[in-house]
Every structure is written in structure tokens, then in C-alpha cells.
Structure 1
């Protein structure tokens, strides 16, 4: 992962049978699920501003762009460490980097980033990220 001024947080997950594709490794779409599950947990635990607080205030985060580089396959039963952290955050949104480490091998299975934008959930249109939100996520 790139070096930046923001914290990197880690969540542990286990590869489940429904994650496996016809080639007996994790389907590429599941990597998105792993990162989103880790971010959901980390928003609450580390930033103290969970997704529910955004939703109750009429806001939501949506993915605008994502880049995933697949390096090594994951298989059934692998335990993974999903490390994520903000690369940039401003009134237009944020870029979150990630790395999925296979704990069995100690090697990176995939890495990349997601660009998120804030939307007003009542209109579905983009809106500005507030200074308070930026401050909460600038740890």
C-alpha cells in the first residue's frame, strides 16, 4: 500500500464456500465484498462515524471508480487480513486504498483503491462531504 498521512486499519475475514468459483478459488467479485465489509466495520470501530450515522442524516457513500489488481488466488478456508486506509479526502469524496493479505501464505492476494462520492439518499444526487466528516476520517 502507498504511504500516506492517514491511518491504515485491518479487519480479518475467512473465505467461505459461497465465495468460491468454478476454478476452486475466490471469484473476483468477492474481493469487492471483502473490502466493503472491512470498511463497514472500520467506519464504526476506528472512525467512530459508522455508515448508519450517514444514513440517518440522509447521506450515503457510493463507489464511483474501483481498481483491483489480482496478484494471487485465495482458496476455501483462507483467512485474510483486509487493510484499508484513506489516501485522499475532500469535499468531493475520498479515495480508499486496500490490500488483502493471505494469512496462510503471508502474501498479498490483491490490492487497489476505491473512489467514493457522497450522495443525498433522498435525491440520489452527489453532495459535498462536510468539514466535520472530513475531520472524523482524517485520522
Structure 2
């Protein structure tokens, strides 16, 4: 766990809720996308993207998302969800998620999201600001 924490600058801790398990007694597949969403919003808040959205009406939308399930997760557990960035372009980037189970001491799930910047006033794609580009570069992984 310590190695996982040292490898990632931004980690969101999420407790597994009993109600997130399905009839097969493991966390339902759709819940992982909620975990990704929680980590994504936490990441965006930490790099001030959410504050920028309120001021400029320019913010992130998902164009694609993916999950790979490596190990089942069950209640009780606490998960650490990391976010890294790659493929930064002028109007988009890719987020990479890794979910680490404290109970299993292992990565259980990985995922990605293609994020496109969007101007909610005009309904058009938008460019990343220089400030957001710099913040994303700080969390970039090798492509």
C-alpha cells in the first residue's frame, strides 16, 4: 500500500458500502464508474478545474470511459483510487484510474476516461487554459 501511495500524487479514499454489492456478493460493475467519478471530481477540484468551470462555463465532459476488473471487491473494504493523465492535447486528455484495495493489498481495477473540454455556453469544444495544461502536465504519465 505504501508503494501505491508513493507512486500517485492524488489519491481518493472511498469506503465500500454494503449496498454496492450485487447478488453475487461483490461490488457491482457499475459502481466502479462511480468510484472513477468520485476520484475524477476530487482530482479536478485539486487542480482548480471546478473553480474555473464556475467562472468560464468551460469544463470537462467524458467522450469515452473503460474499466478492467482484475479482482472482485467485497464489503467491508476501503479503496484508494489514483488518477494520472496522458495524451494531453489542446482540447482533451486521457485519465487513468487504478483502484487499490486495502483489504486485499492489491490493485483490483484499472480504467480510463477520454475527457474533452466543453464550453457550456456555446455548446462547442473548448481549449484547455494554459493554467490547466500546466496542472495536467504535473500529473502526466509516460505515453
RMSD of Structure 2 on Structure 1 (CA): 1.7
1:56 Cα offset (Å)? 2.8
Aligned to 1:128: 127
Aligned to 1:23: 24
C-alpha deviations, 1:72-126, integer Å up to 9, x for none? 1111221001011112212120101110011111111110211100111123322
Aligned to 2:94: 95
User: Is the 2:49–2:59 contact (alpha carbons within 8 Å) kept by the matching residues of 1?
Assistant: no
1:68 Cα offset (Å)? 0.9
1:19 Cα offset (Å)? 1.6
Secondary structure at the counterpart of residue 87 of structure 2: strand
Aligned to 2:137: 138
| Structure 2: 5+ residue stretches without partners | 1-7, 139-143
Aligned to 1:42: 43
Residues in 2 aligned to 1:30 and 1:115: alpha-carbon distance in whole angstroms? 19
1:8 Cα offset (Å)? 4.1
Q: Structure 1 residues 93-102 or 10-19, which shifts more?
A: 10-19
User: Is the 2:21–2:27 contact (alpha carbons within 8 Å) kept by the matching residues of 1?
Assistant: yes
1:64 aligns with 2:66: no
